[in-house]
């Protein structure tokens, strides 16, 4: 006699994770190799500033919001920050996730308590809902939104929701919900290299290129 | 069965007072998670019920389940055997052996056909009947033959309930559970490696007093398997606060913090260990400082390692990761070089266009 929920969990922890990992890591490395090898056209003009330092600075400075953004696009500004911070805290400070990182890389750090993890998870889910709503109602954003954007929003929010449900046993068999949570993360991993989710890695290169181009011209960025 | 004495007469001969009997009924009732108002009903049922014949078959097992049930304190196995059931065949506990023992089983089956309770511990090998035989009869044949006349079957232990350790990968004997073979009889699964003694006797007592208890989708009585270890664990507050033992002898382990990172399977395991506990309610594995192995769940032996946390992948994923880095880099280089070659070719084939040409084409 088998427990289908347990079998699904073991598949998600075993072959499912392996498949997702190969596509995730392989896809990221593939795209990064392409980006690095293709590089940029050599700038023949004499440099007016230090492109390298300006590039490095821009990697970080672009994380600080522009002045006036909160008035111009409050939902994007607040929702964006809340979602990203919430997702990072839930991912990096929930004990079971730290256990996974520890197993893979041998490093660990103290876990956050349940109140913090669940609060930031709930806020991150609300932020995604707000961001989706603004995409659906604002005519300009709506026309700019593609299927890819909706897919990315869905794939990012599903692990948060399924994780919350699994930990709190809100509904369904807890073993099954844990399996569903892992599968939702695996779906995110598989889509990652081939959608806008890749920005989580490629932002470093994009910002460096932008910053160094401007820096070489002697401009701030 | 008709000539067997009823409980009141037995109590008299064993010198059991009415008060002691009612105490026994009260502890049974609370064990079965029933309302205290049902104590008189339990007493009445036990007093008037005929002591059913019980046949206990042991197949591919380690006798751990029998060892465990003999340590039940409420009700004790003696209570059950002398007061509530007539244990007619159990080849570890009975004095008779060989043909005499088999004759006892056949006699009990004949006398109580359709009414006896069959208890099974151990899994049944399907690959080769010779892997496990009793008196020359294969486990499969004995189970089929004995189950045919049973009123109900109780599969004691994870081996009988779900295949257990013999069923673990690569399952060399082709071991299966009772419910994989018998489809036409009510089966109560009482998994555990071994099950908690009072859970085994409690389930038997429930069967004797109220019939088959409410079962979950894995055939387990909800009264004992309704909640997860994690939800009832006294270390749960440490999980919620994010405080974990990292090794078996660190400060966290000594302070009694959560054992999740040491591989505790409490979150996916349903059992009464955290509430009923073991050894007359003394403690349970987590209280003794060891993570839960998840022994009441099917395939617990193959759950990715006893000492690996639930969130850690079960496969050899590091090799996959390295392969992915190498593969991804190779394809990336190839793809980039192809793009560069394409670009160079495009530059070569570039046709110069001047304003005059553009005007012509528009």
Q: Do the chains contact at B161 and A97, CB–CB below 8 Å?
A: no
Residues in chain A: 221
Residue among B224, B50, B61, B235 nearest B131 (CA): B61
Cα–Cα dist B60/B125, whole Å = 8
Chain B contacts in chain A segment 77-136 (CB below 8 A): 93, 95-97, 99-100, 102-104, 108, 110-114, 117
Selected for mutation to probe chain A from B168, B191, B264, B317 (highest A CB count within 10 Å) is B317
Residue A22 has its nearest CB partner, among B180, B320, B336, at B320
The answer to whether the beta carbons of residues B153 and B187 sit under 8 Å apart is: yes
Contacts of B327 in chain A (CB under 8 A): 22, 26
Cα angle A35-A39-A42, degrees, rounded to a multiple of 5 = 165
Percent helix, strand and coil across chain B, each to the nearest 5: 50, 15, 40
To the nearest whole angstrom, how far is the Cα of B329 from the nearest Cα of chain A? 5
For B139-151, write each residue's pLDDT tens digit. 999 999 999 999 9
Residue at A84 is within a domain: yes
Contacts of B43 (CB under 8 A, 6+ apart): B21, B22, B25
Short-list A183, A153, A178, CA closest to A163:
A178
Contact list, A194 vs chain B (CB under 8 Å): none
A63: contact with B, CB 8 A cutoff: no
Q: CA of B87: how far to CAs of A192, B116, B311, in Å?
A: 62, 10, 45
DSSP secondary structure string, A4-64? Answer: HHHHHHHHHHTHHHHHHHHHHHHHHHHHHHHHHHH------SPPSS-HHHHHHHHHHHTTS
**Mutate which of A27, A92, A95 to disrupt the B interface (most B C-beta within 10 Å)?**
A95
CB contact (8 A) between residue B335 and residue A30: yes
Q: What is the pLDDT of residue B2?
A: 43
* Cα torsion angle, B214, A1, B308, A28, sign: negative
Measured CA to CA in angstroms, residue B240 lies from A118, A164, B280 at distances of 10, 13, 29
Give mean pLDDT, residues B51-66. Answer: 91
User: By the 8 A CB rule, do B313 and A17 touch?
Assistant: yes
Q: Is residue A109 assigned to a domain? A: yes
**What's the structural domain count of chain A?**
1
CA angle, residues A213, A215, A219, in degrees to nearest 5 = 105
Interatomic CA distance for residues A189 and A154, integer angstroms: 13
- Write the pLDDT tens digit of every residue in B327-343: 999 999 999 999 889 98
Q: B116 to chain A nearest CA, in Å?
A: 24
Q: Does A31 touch chain B (CB under 8 A)?
A: yes
Token digits of residue A87: 């997702």
User: What chain A residue is nearest to B269 in terms of C-alpha separation?
Assistant: A175
Residues of B in contact with A169 (CB under 8 A): 231
Give the nearest chain A residue to B241 (CA atoms). A113
CATH code at A159?
A: 1.20.950
Closest Cα of chain A to B21: distance in Å? 38
Distance, C-alpha B206 to centroid of its chain: 19
What residues contact B71, with CB distance under 8 A and at least 6 apart? B197, B279
Contact B298 A29 (CB under 8 A): no
Closest CA in chain A for residue B325: A26
Domain B7-224 in CATH 3.40.50.2020: no
Question: Cα–Cα distance between B119 and B146 in angstroms, integer?
Answer: 10
pLDDT at residue B50 greater than cutoff 80: no
- Residue matched to tokens 């559970």: B177
pLDDT score, position B1: 41
pLDDT score of B6: 65
Residue B9: burial class (beta carbons within 10 Å; 0-12, 13-18, 19+): exposed
DSSP state of B350: P
Quickly tell me which residue has 């490095």 as its tokens.
Answer: A56
Q: Which residues pair with B278 in a beta bridge?
A: B283
CB spacing of B246 vs A38 below 8 angstroms: no
Q: Is residue A221 a part of any domain in this protein?
A: no
CA distance to partner chain B, nearest, from residue A210 (Å): 21
Say if residue A115 is preceded by a cis peptide, omega within 30 of 0.
no
What pTM value is reported for the model? 0.86
Chain A positions touching B297 (Cβ under 8 A) are 3, 6
Q: Which of A97, A110, A175 sits opposite B311 (nearest CB)?
A: A97
Phi, psi dihedral angles at B89 (to 5 degrees): -155, 120
pLDDT tens-place values along chain A, 221 residues long: 788 999 999 999 999 999 999 999 999 999 999 988 888 888 888 888 888 999 999 999 988 888 888 888 889 899 999 999 999 999 999 999 999 999 999 999 999 999 999 999 999 999 999 999 999 999 999 999 999 999 999 999 999 999 999 998 888 888 999 999 999 999 999 999 999 999 999 999 999 999 999 999 988 77
B204 vs B312, more confident: B312
pLDDT tens per residue, range B243-278: 999 999 999 999 999 999 999 999 999 999 999 899
How sure is the predictor about B10, in pLDDT bands with cuts at 50, 70 and 90?
low
Contacts of A114 in chain B (CB under 8 A): 239-242
Question: What DSSP designation does A75 have?
Answer: I
- Strand B116-121 with B150-156, pairing: parallel
CB-based contact B312 A100, cutoff 8 Å: yes
**Tokens read off for B354:** 């001047």
Transcribe B210-255 into DSSP letters: HSSPPB-TTS-BHHHHSSBHHHH-TTHHHHHHT-B-SSTTSHHHHT
Rounded Cα gap, residues B122 and B139, in angstroms: 10
Query: How is chain B split into domains, by residue range?
Result: 7-224, 227-361
Cβ A55 vs Cβ A211: under 8 Å = yes
C-beta atoms of A37 and B268 within 8 A:
no
Check B218 against A3: CB less than 8 A apart: yes
The length of chain B is 362
ipTM of the complex model? 0.87
Contact present, A207 and A59 (Cβ < 8 Å):
yes
For residue A16 the two structure tokens come to: 């499912």
Residue A221 tokens, joined: 């960025």
B-chain residues within 8 Å CB-CB of A2? 162, 298-299
The alpha-carbon gap from A69 to the nearest alpha carbon of chain B, in Å, equals: 36
C-alpha distance from A100 to closest chain B C-alpha (Å): 5
Smallest CA–CA distance, residue A134 to chain B, in Å, is 35
Nearest to A32 among B180, B317, B332 (CB): B332
CATH says B227-361 is which class?
few secondary structures
Residue B124's SS3 state is strand
- Locate the chain B residue with the closest alpha carbon to A168: B231
Query: Which residues, 6 or more positions from A18, have their beta carbon under 8 angstroms from its beta carbon?
Result: B313, B315, B317, B320
Residues B269-284 have pLDDT tens digits of 999 999 989 988 899 9
Q: B194: cis peptide before it, omega within 30°?
A: yes
Residue B94: both structure tokens together: 């009975």
pLDDT per residue as tens digits for the range B77-136: 667 666 677 888 888 888 888 888 889 899 999 999 999 999 999 999 999 989 999 888
All residues of chain B having their beta carbon less than 8 Å from the beta carbon of residue A101 are none
Q: Does any CB of chain B come closer than 8 Å to the CB of residue A190?
A: no
Rounded Cα distance between B182 and B347, Å, is 75
Angle between helices A114-137 and A147-168 (to 10 degrees): 150
Structure tokens at A168: 């709190």
Is A168 within 8 Å of chain B by CB?
no
Residue A72 forms part of a structural domain: yes
Helix (H) or strand (E) run with residue B13 in it: helix B7-14
Neighbours of B305 (CB within 10 A): 10
B124: exposed, middle or buried (C-beta count within 10 Å: 0-12, 13-18, 19+)? buried
- The domain of A31 spans 4-216
**Residues B143 and B120: beta-carbon distance below 8 Å:** yes
Q: What number of CA atoms fall less than 13 Å from residue B253's CA on the CB side? A: 12
Give CA–CA dist B249/B289, Å, rounded.
10
Chain A residue numbers with beta carbons less than 8 Å from the beta carbon of B244 are 95, 111
Tokens of A179: 């399996």
CB B139 within 8 A of CB B129: yes
């Amino acid at each position: 006699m088998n427990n289908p929920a347990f079998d699904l969990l073991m598949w998600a922890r075993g072959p499912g994770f392996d498949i997702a990992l190969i596509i995730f890591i392989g896809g990221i490395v593939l795209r990064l190799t392409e980006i690095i090898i293709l590089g940029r056209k050599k700038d023949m003009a004499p440099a007016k500033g230090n492109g390298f330092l300006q590039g490095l600075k821009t990697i970080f400075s672009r994380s600080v919001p522009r002045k006036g953004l909160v008035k111009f696009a409050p939902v994007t500004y607040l929702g964006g920050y809340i979602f990203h911070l919430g997702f990072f805290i839930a991912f990096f400070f929930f004990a079971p996730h730290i256990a996974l990182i520890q197993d893979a890389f041998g490093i660990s750090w103290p876990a956050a308590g349940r109140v913090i993890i669940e609060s930031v998870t709930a806020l991150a889910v609300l932020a995604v809902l707000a961001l989706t709503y603004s995409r659906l109602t604002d005519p300009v954003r709506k026309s700019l939104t593609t299927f890819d954007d909706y897919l990315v929003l869905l794939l990012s929010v599903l692990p948060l929701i399924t994780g919350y449900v699994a930990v709190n046993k809100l509904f369904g068999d807890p073993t099954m919900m844990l399996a569903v949570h892992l599968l939702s993360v695996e779906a995110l991993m598989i889509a990652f290299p081939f959608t806008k989710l890749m920005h989580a890695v490629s932002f470093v290169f994009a910002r460096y290129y932008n910053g160094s181009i401007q820096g070489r011209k002697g401009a701030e960025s | 069965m008709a000539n067997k004495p009823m409980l009141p007469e037995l109590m008299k001969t064993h010198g059991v007072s009415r008060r002691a009997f009612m105490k026994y009924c009260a502890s049974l009732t609370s064990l079965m998670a029933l309302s205290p108002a049902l104590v008189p009903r339990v007493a009445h049922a036990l007093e008037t019920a005929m002591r059913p014949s019980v046949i206990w078959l042991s197949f591919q097992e380690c006798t751990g389940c029998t060892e465990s049930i003999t340590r039940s304190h409420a009700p004790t196995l003696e209570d059950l055997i002398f007061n509530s059931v007539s244990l007619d065949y159990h080849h570890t506990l009975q004095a008779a052996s060989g043909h005499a023992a088999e004759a006892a089983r056949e006699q009990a089956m004949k006398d109580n056909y359709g009414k006896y309770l069959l208890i099974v511990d151990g899994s049944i090998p399907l690959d080769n009947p010779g892997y496990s035989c009793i008196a020359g009869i294969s486990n499969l044949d004995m189970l089929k033959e004995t189950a045919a006349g049973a009123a109900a079957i109780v599969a004691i232990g994870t081996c009988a309930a779900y295949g257990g350790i013999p069923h673990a990968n690569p399952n060399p004997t082709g071991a299966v559970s009772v419910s994989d073979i018998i489809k036409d009889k009510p089966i109560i699964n009482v998994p555990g490696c071994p099950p908690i003694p009072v859970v085994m006797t409690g389930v038997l007592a429930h069967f004797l007093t109220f019939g088959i208890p409410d079962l979950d989708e894995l055939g387990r009585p909800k009264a004992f398997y309704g909640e997860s270890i994690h939800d009832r664990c006294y270390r749960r507050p440490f999980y919620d606060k994010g405080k974990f033992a990292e090794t078996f002898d660190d400060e966290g382990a000594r302070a009694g913090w959560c054992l999740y990172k040491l591989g505790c399977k409490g979150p996916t395991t349903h059992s009464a260990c955290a509430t009923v506990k073991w050894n007359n309610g003394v403690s349970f594995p987590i209280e003794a400082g060891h993570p839960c192995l998840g022994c009441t769940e099917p395939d617990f032996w193959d759950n990715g390692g006893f000492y690996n946390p639930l969130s850690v992948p079960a496969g050899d994923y590091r090799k996959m990761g390295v392969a992915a880095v190498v593969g991804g880099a190779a394809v990336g280089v190839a793809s980039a070089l192809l793009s560069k070659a394409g670009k160079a070719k495009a530059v070569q084939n570039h046709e110069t266009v001047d304003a005059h040409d553009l005007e012509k084409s528009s």
